[in-house]
A and B are shown apart, each in its own frame.
Chain A
Amino acid sequence: MSYILNRVFSMMLTLFLISAITFAVTNILPGDVAMMIMGTQSNPEALAGLRETLGLNDPLLVQYGRWIGGMLTGDWGSSLVFKEPIAPLLVQKMTASGLLVLFSMAIALTCAVPLGVWAAVHANRWQDTAASSTAMLGVSLPDFFWGIMLILLFARGLGWLPSSGFVDPAEDLGAAIRHALLPSLALGLGLMAHLTRMTRATMTGILKQEFIRVARAKGLNEGTVVWRYGLANAVGPVMTVAGLQVGYLFGSIIVIESLFNYTGMGWLTYQALLNRDIPLIQASVFVIAAVVMLANLIVDLLYAVVDPRIRLS
């Protein structure tokens, strides 16, 4: 328990630092949000008025203090460019991206683990080469390539699934899933390749170990040896990699989100940055960082569950 508290405390500290750095860095960037709002219809007078209204003329520390104060009291403010309250916006976009990450992770794991095990069991035979080549193909081709291929096949060609857009699962679960399927598949294919290679590598190592030989010598059936004894020991490293991938996914999701016009967190953060919309940048970076750290914490906790030898202290 104290372990968890410790971790949460250090997470808070990291988040605070991240928010301070983000704030400082975005303020160094040239240009400001007033300019972005008015674009090429702005004139110096109107621009000055808008800057005053938005509080951009206050000292930086005052602006940062106002933001941190708001965050602590649960008031996340409104986007300056889009005039939308930030908290519901984050919930909506987080749901969208969360759905993608969850789906692609599920797709990747269900394919990667059996494939990796299969390759390890048949190490250095044709099955291994086949599995490794498939994995290699997934790693070498970028996810937007898969995205385009999937759109061509399932949306343009067969017409089974929509080519773009996002539907809120609370509104229509079926439609939400159909819209999330292709982008998840595109993300999942690249991810699967990573995880397959990871599973294969770990499993090959484990299958060579003493206790596996003992299990076989005891006359246990090969299925039990591989899945009960072998895989149980390989789950840890695979999980760690999968956990790290959550962070990677939130970072790289933007390409797939643009390709499928599936506006989620990646898209939101990018828009916020482009528009110098500081409250929105702060909040999105904060939430993404929190989610990534939380994912890693959960992985560490699960470690203890799947491998009782590990004591968290």
Chain B
Amino acid sequence: MKRRDFLKTTSALMGGTVLYGLTGPAQAQSEPVRGGTLIWGHSETTQNLDMHQTGTASTGRVLQNVHDSIVTVDQDLNVIPNLAESFEQSEDGLTYTFRLRPGVMFHNGKTLTSADVKYSFDRCRNPDTGAVNFEVFNAVDSIETPDDLTVIVTLTSVNAPFLSRLAENGAGVVMPEGSGDEQGNTPVGCGPFRFVRREFGNEVELERFDDYWGGPAYLDRIIAREITEPTVRLTGLRTGELHMINDIPADRIAEIEGADDLQVVSWFPLNWDFVNFNHEFEPFKNPKVREAFDHMIDKDVLLEGALWGQGAVTASPSYPTSASFNSDLGQRPQDIEKAKALLAEAGYGPNELSVVFKVTTNYPYHVEAAQIMLEWFRMAGVDASIEQLTWSDWLSQVWVDKDFQISMMNFFTLWEPDFLYYSLWNTEGAFNYRKISHPQVDALTAKARVTVDPTERAAIYKDVQQIIHDDTLDVVLWFRNGTIGAQPAVQGLDTIVHPNGSNLRFHKVWLAEA
């Protein structure tokens, strides 16, 4: 998809995730019916089921249906009430008061109170828990529970992203008091489905929770079969053994769309991808060299070649409809001659610069993209080679040890701008594995943290994006589409994608034949 079409789409449809639409023979919409077991071919294996400790998108995708967070977001990524029926922030921005919804039931039969919220937040911020999102609570001074339905969180300093970060289960989940130890293999929450069992590596079974505060779901049961091989998933869908599958491989989407007995849901963004430079690798210390590499890449062709066009090119990694998305930003066009000239200016003549591109086989399309880029790098007189790494090798070499020259990565659910820009581009950012240290970016991302006014904050992030682009700190490539393939009987699919683009919600999904 070209940038122009993409902008048209985003302006036409509002939402954190933009539903491209449904194709195929969705059966005529009638009234939702209750009952039935939906069998979902899930693309990944769930790991540790403890919502605080798990860092994988796969596990979060399933647990989205088991847990609920204190607040949540609407399609436009605005924070809205959830388990808290109301919330307010004091004028100085330091105190948050949450009024909890009365009568919310946990799957273990207990009623949710402020003690559960305090327990959950305390557990997440305790370093011994090993919670992935514990830094969300860094600025928290105290958590008080004056009565059963009121929680008051006081911060030591203004932390603008605090509330938004609580809108995701990673930090905002509310677990029953004292349930921490069992969460790892028998998660208990207050979501629309109750966890029944996991046959490890094979399937996870969820069952409708009739006392769900938001009204009972339609499906009796969900069986999430973990099928990591895309071809096996597709076969299962075509033989009718599976009702639906997520993540159709890009090269097979056309085939499923063409099948007249299946429906396809696609949306973006599922995630976004970028090319990374190690800023401590001598040549990449010079912004001209980084810009030269940007000029070597034809993003549209790369999107076609590596993802069969299943996405939209972008220079901004902000969620397309979020306030901080900088739509004025364009990508640099491919210009090999200009790239050569820039390299020469930086002191690298033809074949004088050699780089190794480390890429992980965990994302096969990254390998394909790297192979295509390699040809362009060579055309520009760079002596380039690829090193393919397993996921664990990539994590240890690139992410932890920062031992690489050029690499590529994607991120799934970084829709909250502080989580995105501070983590990735601030010198102190937790995800700054490229050793980027840019004083202006540091100052702006720090300022945004203490800026409460949303418009002002969005403007700061737009400036950050401008710098990332102008100084080519990384090369942002595209948003990748998410896809679901389903039998015609599966209904309510327009509600299934969470605004974060990665999680799937089965609360309003139903089976027509049940």
A interface residues with partner B (beta carbon < 8 Å): 29-32, 34-47, 49-50, 53-54, 81-85, 89, 92-93, 151, 155-156, 159, 162-166, 168, 258-261, 263, 267-268, 271, 274-276
CB–CB B400/A163 < 8 A: no
Q: Name, among A32, A34, A39, A155, the residue most crowded by chain B CB atoms within 10 Å (CB to CB).
A: A39
Chain B interface, number of residues (Cβ within 8 angstroms): 52
Interface check B235, CB cutoff 8 A: yes
Known contacts A30-B393, A43-B431, then 14 further A-B pairs from the complex at CB < 8 Å, ordered by chain A residue: A29-B392, A35-B396, A36-B392, A39-B55, A42-B132, A42-B430, A46-B127, A49-B130, A156-B238, A258-B228, A260-B232, A261-B229, A267-B201, A268-B201
Residues of A contacting B56 with CB < 8 Å? Answer: 39
CB–CB A271/B392 < 8 A: no
A165 contacts which of B50, B53, B225, B228 (Cβ < 8 Å)?
A: B225
A271 contacts which of B48, B130, B201, B232 (Cβ < 8 Å)?
A: B201
Would you give the shortest CB distance from B204 to chain A, in whole angstroms? 12
Interface check B202, CB cutoff 8 A: yes
A39–B200 CA distance with the chains assembled, in angstroms: 20
Residue of A whose beta carbon sits closest to that of B54:
A37
Chain B, range 177-200, C-beta contacts under 8 Å to A? 184-185, 198-200
Interface check B301, CB cutoff 8 A: no
Interface check B157, CB cutoff 8 A: no
Would you give the shortest CB distance from A182 to chain B, in whole angstroms? 11
CB–CB B130/A53 < 8 A: yes
Residues of A contacting B475 with CB < 8 Å? Answer: none
Would you give the shortest CB distance from B198 to chain A, in whole angstroms? 8
CB–CB B132/A41 < 8 A: yes
Interface check B134, CB cutoff 8 A: yes
B392 contacts which of A30, A151, A163 (Cβ < 8 Å)?
A: A30
A156 contacts which of B130, B132, B235, B399 (Cβ < 8 Å)?
A: B235
Work out how many contacts link A and B, with CB atoms closer than 8 A: 142
CB–CB A271/B45 < 8 A: yes
Residues of B contacting A268 with CB < 8 Å? Answer: 201
Residue of A whose beta carbon sits closest to that of B183:
A83
Interface check B128, CB cutoff 8 A: yes
List 28 A-B residue pairs with CB atoms under 8 Å apart, sorted by A's residue number: A30-B397, A31-B395, A35-B396, A36-B391, A37-B54, A37-B130, A39-B56, A39-B395, A40-B55, A45-B135, A46-B130, A46-B135, A53-B130, A81-B47, A83-B48, A84-B185, A84-B200, A89-B200, A163-B236, A163-B239, A164-B235, A164-B241, A165-B203, A261-B229, A267-B201, A274-B391, A275-B392, A276-B392
Q: Contacts A165-B202, A271-B45; is A43 near B393 (CB within 8 Å)? A: no
Chain B, range 32-80, C-beta contacts under 8 Å to A? 45, 47-50, 53-56
Would you give the shortest CB distance from A263 to chain B, in whole angstroms? 4
CB–CB B241/A163 < 8 A: yes
Interface mask (B127-170 → A, CB under 8 Å = 1, otherwise 0): 11111111100000000000000000000000000000000001
CB–CB B132/A38 < 8 A: yes
A159–B236 CA distance with the chains assembled, in angstroms: 11
CB–CB B235/A35 < 8 A: no
Interface check B227, CB cutoff 8 A: yes
Would you give the shortest CB distance from B449 to chain A, in whole angstroms? 16
CB–CB A164/B227 < 8 A: yes
CB–CB A168/B130 < 8 A: no
Would you give the shortest CB distance from B43 to chain A, in whole angstroms? 11
Interface check B390, CB cutoff 8 A: yes
A102–B330 CA distance with the chains assembled, in angstroms: 61
